[in-house]
Chains A and B, each alone.
Chain A
Amino acid sequence: MIAALSLVVVLADASARIHASGPAEAPETDEVVVEDDDAATDPAPVEPEAPSPAPPPATAPAVGPADTAEVGVVERRETDPTVFPDPKKFSRGFFVEGGLGPAVPIGPTSEVLATGFSLGARTGYEIRRWVALQVHATGMVARYDDGVLRRELLQQYVYTGEARFAVPIRRFLIALQGGAGIYQLSNNLLQVAGIAPDNRRIGLAWDASLAFDVHSLNRHISGGVVATFVGMPALRNAGTLVLHVVLRYTL
């Protein structure tokens, strides 16, 4: 056992010596050996010789081989790290986008509806990265409380067609999008509250959004946040501010 340990120590010591002397030092070692040999074979005093040209350095030149130094050094083409990932490589065309987040009632509906939860989706065609046509659907659910009816839920659905205009900045994108369509209510609670004029549950709606999008390193996937205001003129011009975290996939 002790013999084995001793062998390991010896091998480790030898290995440490090998690693301590780098390959760049090898020529110097050779040169010293040659000088020693000369001294051993010719002990007579040696006349000083004329100075000879300095030996070439042991290491390779940093600028390339000497025979190519006059015509220049061939270098690798440099890439600008600030344009990575390259927006030209992003997918463009049909896309689908989904998001979720809070829905905040604004206007008359805020008197009876609490902040709710919403899910939304958009799909369409990105003609250029800065312009797209799309359809949009969002569903919202919120608690209704008018002092007597206190535990009711109201669901609102919005379906619109939209145009999207964007300002792409490398992998980022700021977009304005908006359109018009219809809204649908799940019940007539807003009629009870005096906001809806009758028990009709479908009416005209419009929406406008501000979106901020960041493209991932995957050419298909991006994500961001979208703030959408949905206006419902028939509900005494009430509206809902929908804040979504979105994920987008472009084919």
Chain B
Amino acid sequence: MRAIGPLVLAAASLLAACNNPAFYPGATRIVIDADALAAAQGEEATSANPTIGAYGQAEYWLDFRPPSTAELAELQPAGATPAEQIPWVRRDELTISVPWTLTNQSDAPMRAWVLLDGATEFYDYNPIAMYGQAGGAEEDEIQFPSLLGFTPIMVGPNEVVRGEFREDDMREAMYDLDVLSRFCGGPLAVLYHRSEADPIGTEGVPDDAVIAGMVLLRLTLGTDQPSTLEYSVRLRESEDIIFDSARDERRYEVMPEPYAIAGGAAGGSGGSDGATDMCEDTGG
């Protein structure tokens, strides 16, 4: 009799086709080999970060169907600031998760960072690559955290570790990204607090704000041993806005502006909450 329950459940799920997500193909692996580790040791190395060490990044653009010209003009009228505009790609229409697999390809223990950053259609946030623009460690520049995963992972020799940026993680990451970039929230205050539990740093967000969704996912692997990171992008209940080659002729073209953290220096104008030049310019 106990077998009847799972059988009925399997039959019901089969008939109801309840599992109906969409998956983005073509996610590329991030590989850090011995040569990349050696190159990161150089003085002028661009693939090294004092916090996470040698790193590699992969950018993954999500494709969406475009709005009509009239729709776009209504959402984003000319002359309006990003904070006044309404995004076409909205957080509420995206239910994303990113499962990943990290493999230590050495015989030694490894400390690794699997980070996720990204961009909305307005701003691109890449704190790892941007570090150093304010003078680096000599100028007491602050390393701002990534949107997700800013905690090291200890991996044993030749061990395979699997993880996932869950749907609720991604939902919070999209909120943080839009708040710190478009509504000028302090990165440290926003990123170190779960907005649902502690909304510190989100005071500038209007009550009726439409939060932008991500159009770019940037995976970063930081490590001190040869290793690889594989990942995949999974969306649920988002098919209406996803680009479909059988239905849509064009993709939604966006050019997000790099998010500049001029206040990254500890004693800078941003203070401890890391406000930005961009927001200072706009009065944020």
Q: Tell me the A residues contacting B by CB distance below 8 Å.
A: 100, 117-119, 139-141, 146-150, 152-153, 155, 186-189, 191-192, 194, 198-200
Contact = CB atoms under 8 A, between A and B. Distances in A.
Nearest to B246: A200
Interface stretch (B10-18, B44-52, B107-115): B10-18
Interface of B: 10-11, 13-15, 17, 19-25, 27, 99-101, 162, 230-232, 234, 244-246
B25 A188 contact: yes
Contacts of A155: 13-14, 17, 19
Contact of B10 (A117, A186, A198): A117
Contacts, number: 68
A140 B14 contact: yes
Given A192-B25, A199-B245, A187 B230 contact: no
6 contacts: A117-B10, A139-B14, A149-B99, A150-B162, A153-B19, A199-B25
B246 A199 contact: yes
B15 A150 contact: no
Nearest to B103: A147
Contacts of B17: 155, 186
B158 to A, nearest CB: 15
A149 B234 contact: yes
B101 to A, nearest CB: 5
A152 B99 CA distance: 11
B15 A139 contact: yes
Nearest to B242: A199
Given A148-B230, A149-B99, A192-B232, 4 more contacts: A119-B11, A152-B21, A155-B19, A188-B22
Nearest to A151: B99
B19 A198 contact: no
A141 B246 contact: no
Contacts of A148: 27, 99-101, 162, 230-232
A186 B20 contact: yes
A150 B19 contact: no
A187 B14 CA distance: 13
Nearest to B19: A153
B245 A187 contact: no
Contacts of B234: 149, 152
Contacts of B23: 149, 152, 187-189, 191-192
A200 to B, nearest CB: 6
A194 B24 CA distance: 11
Contacts of B230: 147-148
